[in-house]
Structure 1
Amino acid sequence: MPTRPTRTERFMMGTTLSTLLAASCASGASSGSGVSSAPDAGAPAPRAPELLAFALQEGAIHNHFFRRGHIAAHLLVTSGVSPRLIVAFPAGNMGIAAWFDALPAPVELSVEGGVSGVERPGGMLGVSALLVSAAPALRVHRLVLGSIRTVREVGRDGELPAWLRADVEAGAAPAGGPIAVRRTTLDGEHHLELLIEPLDGTTAALGLDGRVELAAGPRGLRFRVTALSDEAPLTPVPLDEIANERAGDDPRHRQALAFLTYREKLLAGSWRFLTYFGRDTLLAVRMLLPVLEPAVVEAAIGSVLDRLSPEGEVAHEEAIGEYAALLRLAAGRAGAQRESIYAQRESIYAQREAGHAQREAGHALREPIHDYKMVDDDFLLAPLAAEYLLGSAPGRARAAAFLARRTPGGATYAQALARNVALVLRLAAPFAETRDVRALIALKEGESVGEWRDSEEGLAFGRIPYDVNVALVPAALRASARLLGSPLLGAGPDEEGSARAERLARAWKDAGVFFRVELPEAEARRRAGAYAASLGIDPAPVVASLSGTLSFPAIALDGEGRPIPVMHSDDGFVLLFTDPPPEALEEIAGRLVRPFPAGLRTPVGVLVANPAFAPDPAVRGLFTAGHYHGTVTWSWQQAMLAAGLDRQLARGDLSSTSRARGALERARSALWEVIRASREASTWELWSWAVEGGRYRLVPFGAERAHHDESNAVQLWSTVYLAVRP
């Protein structure tokens, strides 16, 4: 460990220097093979902290995950012409990140010898790793120490606000290091630290502009980085308490799930979404339900109930720690609601210095702030709750005790769940009563996102999403009928409420007719062939796969109720949550079997969108292989399709000789063929593709400059292959 420098040079890291620290939350311990966990206060005897340490490569990104006791962190380094270091902590969703200046040629930046845990007096916890590179020198372009949300927003080239400044201490020349970067959070209560210790002849210094500069020694660049935070750790769930004996034995998925599983909540993904997301939690647990231990299921559902709004809305995402403090300080300034958040932040640091960081408007600055702008998650809670509490033996046995627990606001879980059920019925009533397309569930006023395709262009700027209206609302109504018809939500069954929910569900059964798109065979062939040729794909097999009238559901309706003709993978919601008629099952199966762009299948994955049949080139331009919700593959969407196909094949009303069953079986076989072909990427959030020499090649999302974002190496709902298997 580096000692304190004998001579100190201090620089304020404002617009001249930046540290990209990847957000993360506190401790954890149990995952993967040989994982370990922090002591459980309820256990009869304390258990020694187990070690969870594993690595995943995502193209040029090398990801290293570490969890032992109270220490949990995700360290990643990126090679190429723009090297990068990020350390994300589940504790407080905090992180440390550094981007290096662009280089004339790509270089490898990697970790040698793995990652180790570090625990300092005063609660500073983190990880340390030896970084090596053949580059002659690296110069830090940007440094950020703060919330992962801040890291996501500032990004590589975003403006670095002055309030993010940090102290830099450099050792005296000619020793050339070490260098320490330290920052105190806005509330003055917590700290982040990055130590850079040059080794084996490598030197580290601060340039005249205050930027960290590393120069190689005889063995190349070799320097140790240590990243620390004193945020309160989360409570890890031991590996052997996460999944039961029915779970798959893939160590990668077990490790990924363990790194994201804590008693307080399940985390959505790392590095970019290392905290609670309601939709991600509900969908992942719904698919993992057969293999999860009851305590993990209840931790997940409980985390959602704890964050419900007074009206029963499910919280989408939470702002915690420093990011919550930042939002409160910004909102406290005059006219904050009319200003860009970044336009307000230059004075925030001064506010802290003036002593106003402890409390604002009578609220603790760090009290979590919950986001309720999404509409899909409101209809996911009841189906999961009904399936667990009424449909599984462990859930039925534990239901009374679980629903007697209380939220932070004092309501029982039964009362909180009843609020959500009442919301579902209230939101569903207008369409059921009028059959007016304008009464379908739309994105909230003023919002451009509202369901899982939550990039700005994910629905082609549509307002009424297919998945919510055709699958989730009917499913939530049927689940609500089951819950109301049981004694779980009150003193006894609410037969009248249950009957009302059933009537509403029947009225929503045919909502899909509003989304139906039909094209004559000749026109479908013309559009598919032209689009394939524009992408360098051989159009002959694409065109040959189309016969007869082409029918598919629109991805969304616009504000006037007109279908937006983009084919998509949200059939998975229909398969998993509803019981479509046989002819609808045949159509869905056809989209999974036909090659893109006649359908959705490529050799490296099922695509989540296909704009080939949209006549407007502007719409087609919103769904490229570089868009977050474009012609790309999301791992969990493939898993949901697989789970949904299995559910439909288990129906008793499809005879063994029916056309629908045969179509579903062919679709299942085709789907698992591409799932196996993309197995290396299965824990990733998403991936893209390229065509070279007439063949598809899997491309990590974020590897190309044309990609609009990047993927997480581990994603909660991408671990569901532990339960979804061929």
Structure 2
Amino acid sequence: MAAHLLTTSGPVPRLLVAFPAGNAGIVLGFAPLVQPAAFELAPLTTLDGVEEPDGMRGVTAHLVARAPALRIHHAMLAGIRFLRDEMAGGLGPGAPSLAHEVDPGPPFALRRTMLDGRRIELRIEPREGSTVTRENDDIVLHAGPEGEVHFLATALQDEAPLAPFPVEDLLNVHAASDAQARRALSFLSFQEKLLAGSWRFLTYFGRDTLLALHMLLPALEPPAIEAGLGSVLDRLAPDGDVAHEEAIGEYAVWLNAMATPRPADLRAPVLDYKMVDDDFLLAPMAAAYLLDMPAGSTRARGFLACKTPSGMLYRDVLRQNLALVLARAAPFAKHPGPETLVSLKPGLPVGNWRDSNQGLGGGHIPFDVNVALVPAALRAAARLFASDLLGPDPAAASEARALSDAWKGVERFFRVEIPAEAARARVSEYAAAVGLDGALAVASIDVPIRFFALALDAAGKPIPVMHSDTAFVLLFDEPSPELLTLVAHDLLRPFPAGLRTDVGMLVANPAYAGDPALAAMFTRADYHGTVVWSWQQAAMAAGLSRQLSRKDLPDATREALLLAERALWEGIEATHARRAEELWSWEPRGGKAVLIPFGQARGHVDESNALQLWSTVYLALRPPSRSGPR
């Protein structure tokens, strides 16, 4: 049994249960309260598993809310994607009926047979003198004599379970002892696939899988690595394109029912291939495991001899992805310029990890894809083609090396420079606008500000937003001392001059945008705005550690990186309790940034996952004070 139960306290309480099997869940939304309610497990109780003779299985918990009553004004039992869409603004026209039945009991229960024929159910049994009644169309839980609402919530479904990795089979002796991160990774790791996050992304995501695997390599056991890597290879398109997201369960049934032609199996997963960054992540991950890790190279031939569900060898589908990488890199090698860089797919506003509609500020040519991932994929392809694992193929290896050479220096198209006087003025004005004391930030600007644009627009013009995607360059390349020094300055300067805040490293800083409309796309209420993503801090930490292991750095560059690493880890340690989460935001108090959960303030465009796969990568990291001499 695998399930995630979440309660939301405050003026608008909520209860949600998410099941990895079938990607299904249950949400109860309670009516707003005059006084905020604290909602939690009852003292001395735990979340327990339930398995019934008819195949229903799930979890049960004794919950308590400090409130006179809880009125359920919204309930939904459905596929997670339906829950996600409903909470993000509604299902929209053409959505199927997701109506459920109410059984007054006892026990009081909500039941539904989903579009895929699976059953899902929530039982509510009052405890400690509490009662449950129907009042018109609402279900109301009334407090007992102690003024608290007590009830037993039992969430069940009959989907066949996934096969878990026990934590002892998942992590090796090098993994950190962080119990929270271990539980989170174990919950999200199955032999069939790794899950991106819970509750909102409780299914396969290609990018999340590949990035998490790459950063977790030192801490994972080979079977877990191969489960994740195999899940990506199993879902490649015929041309080698990496699948971004997988729709399963009743959401897949709905999509398949509308497809032309309609597939014979309506429950067949529906795969989404709209992203471009994941296509360039597979080769570096495959090379790192199959060529560089002793355990991986020992097991490589056996792994590559495995077959996809369509019957193709892993070796052959990996070659298809490498061919795709070479084909997409070729136009720039022939005619170098912004117009031949890798851009988003036609008609789409998203294509990399900043996959909210305005995450790239209207840009079409992402920095991370072009400066870091394409060159890394080309180098990895050259190594894989030159090995005997895929052939070998000297001609393809030679082509990949030539393309890699042609892609050197791509960062030149993304350079932005703001004169010091103009930079100080913009930072001062921006700090006042967002409620921060900008004195330290302004004082940190004593030279022209230079950084790399988040993306280029369709005409090849830089989008002048400072960002954290330089972490990809540090993770996958050996950049120049000049680039490393610029990155260090971004991390050391306090926001809004740089990315450093009291709540961690921000993923975007639009203070230098020079355009109010562009800056308005990157607020602390936006999914990829002036917020902190846990995994991006980890990626930057891993990248800094990797660069500091180099022997060719000038002393001044090394010193700047050491200072940046120390500053970064101060922010990481200050928010240690939130590490496994997806992201968080802040609000100004007394001129400083104070952490608030993302999704729990007015105007926040979405909510953060309580658990995120790539946020568990700290299991493979060590703070600099414990990492030993370099």
Contact 1:453–1:459 (CA under 8 A) maintained in structure 2: yes
> What letter is aligned with 1:458?
G
2:516 maps to 1:617: yes
Contact 1:269–1:716 (CA under 8 A) maintained in structure 2: yes
> What letter is aligned with 1:717?
W
Task: Name the residue aligned to 1:474.
Answer: 375
Aligned 1:535-546 pairs, distance under 5 A = 535-546=434-445
Secondary structure of the 1:719 match is helix
What CA distance in whole angstroms lies between the structure 2 residues aligned with 1:539 and 1:201?
55
Task: Name the residue aligned to 2:627.
Answer: none
What CA distance in whole angstroms lies between the structure 1 residues aligned with 2:362 and 2:159?
39
Secondary structure of the 1:164 match is coil
2:97 maps to 1:163: yes
Contact 1:136–1:221 (CA under 8 A) maintained in structure 2: yes
Give the TM-score taking structure 1 as reference length. Answer: 0.84
- Rate the CA distance shift 1:123–1:484 in 2: closer, same or farther, 3 A: same
What is the percentage of aligned positions where both structures have the same residue? 56
2:194 maps to 1:260: no
String of CA shifts for 1:252-280, please: whole Å, max 9, x gaps.
11111111111111111111111111000
Aligned 1:281-300 pairs, distance under 5 A = 281-300=209-228
2:452 maps to 1:553: yes
Residue 654 (structure 1) shift: 1.6
2:626 maps to 1:696: no
What CA distance in whole angstroms lies between the structure 2 residues aligned with 1:156 and 1:430?
39
> What letter is aligned with 2:419?
P
- Rate the CA distance shift 1:508–1:159 in 2: closer, same or farther, 3 A: closer
Task: Name the residue aligned to 2:420.
Answer: 521
Task: Name the residue aligned to 2:317.
Answer: 416
What CA distance in whole angstroms lies between the structure 2 residues aligned with 1:140 and 1:497?
61
Residue 156 (structure 1) shift: 7.2
- Rate the CA distance shift 1:373–1:162 in 2: closer, same or farther, 3 A: closer
2:256 maps to 1:328: yes
Residues paired across the two proteins, number: 618
Residue 105 (structure 1) shift: 2.2
What CA distance in whole angstroms lies between the structure 1 residues aligned with 2:592 and 2:91?
40
String of CA shifts for 1:426-464, please: whole Å, max 9, x gaps.
000001110131111111011111110000110011111
- Rate the CA distance shift 1:215–1:666 in 2: closer, same or farther, 3 A: same
RMSD: 1.3
Task: Name the residue aligned to 2:21.
Answer: 91
Which of the numbers 81, 94, 97 marks the counterpart of 2:11?
81
> What letter is aligned with 1:317?
E
Contact 2:107–2:125 (CA under 8 A) maintained in structure 1: yes
Residue 179 (structure 1) shift: 1.2
What CA distance in whole angstroms lies between the structure 2 residues aligned with 1:159 and 1:152?
9
What CA distance in whole angstroms lies between the structure 2 residues aligned with 1:551 and 1:157?
39
Task: Name the residue aligned to 2:306.
Answer: 405
- Rate the CA distance shift 1:391–1:129 in 2: closer, same or farther, 3 A: same
Contact 2:534–2:583 (CA under 8 A) maintained in structure 1: yes
Which of the numbers 231, 237, 240 marks the counterpart of 1:312?
240
2:81 maps to 1:149: yes
What CA distance in whole angstroms lies between the structure 1 residues aligned with 2:264 and 2:542?
44
Task: Name the residue aligned to 2:360.
Answer: 459
> What letter is aligned with 1:690?
E
Structure 1 unaligned residues grouped into runs of 5+ = 1-70, 172-176, 333-359
2:56 maps to 1:124: yes
Contact 1:683–1:718 (CA under 8 A) maintained in structure 2: yes
Contact 2:499–2:509 (CA under 8 A) maintained in structure 1: yes
2:215 maps to 1:215: no
Secondary structure of the 1:364 match is coil
Task: Name the residue aligned to 1:181.
Answer: 110
What CA distance in whole angstroms lies between the structure 2 residues aligned with 1:133 and 1:723?
38
Secondary structure of the 2:540 match is helix
Aligned 1:630-709 pairs, distance under 5 A = 630-655=529-554, 658-709=555-606
- Rate the CA distance shift 1:147–1:470 in 2: closer, same or farther, 3 A: same
Task: Name the residue aligned to 2:201.
Answer: 273
Residue 670 (structure 1) shift: 0.9
What CA distance in whole angstroms lies between the structure 2 residues aligned with 1:233 and 1:216?
36
What CA distance in whole angstroms lies between the structure 1 residues aligned with 2:239 and 2:247?
20
Which of the numbers 291, 297, 322 marks the counterpart of 1:396?
297
Task: Name the residue aligned to 2:329.
Answer: 428
Residue 496 (structure 1) shift: 1.4
Runs of 4+ with >3 A deviation: 159-162
> What letter is aligned with 2:141?
L
Which of the numbers 398, 406, 413 marks the counterpart of 1:499?
398
- Rate the CA distance shift 1:116–1:552 in 2: closer, same or farther, 3 A: same
Which protein is richer in helix relative to its size?
2
Which of the numbers 512, 529, 543 marks the counterpart of 2:411?
512
> What letter is aligned with 1:150?
F
Contact 1:179–1:205 (CA under 8 A) maintained in structure 2: no
What CA distance in whole angstroms lies between the structure 1 residues aligned with 2:421 and 2:275?
39
What CA distance in whole angstroms lies between the structure 2 residues aligned with 1:233 and 1:121?
15
Secondary structure of the 2:286 match is helix
Contact 2:130–2:143 (CA under 8 A) maintained in structure 1: yes
Secondary structure of the 1:401 match is helix
Residue 134 (structure 1) shift: 2.5
Secondary structure of the 1:92 match is helix
Contact 2:531–2:586 (CA under 8 A) maintained in structure 1: yes
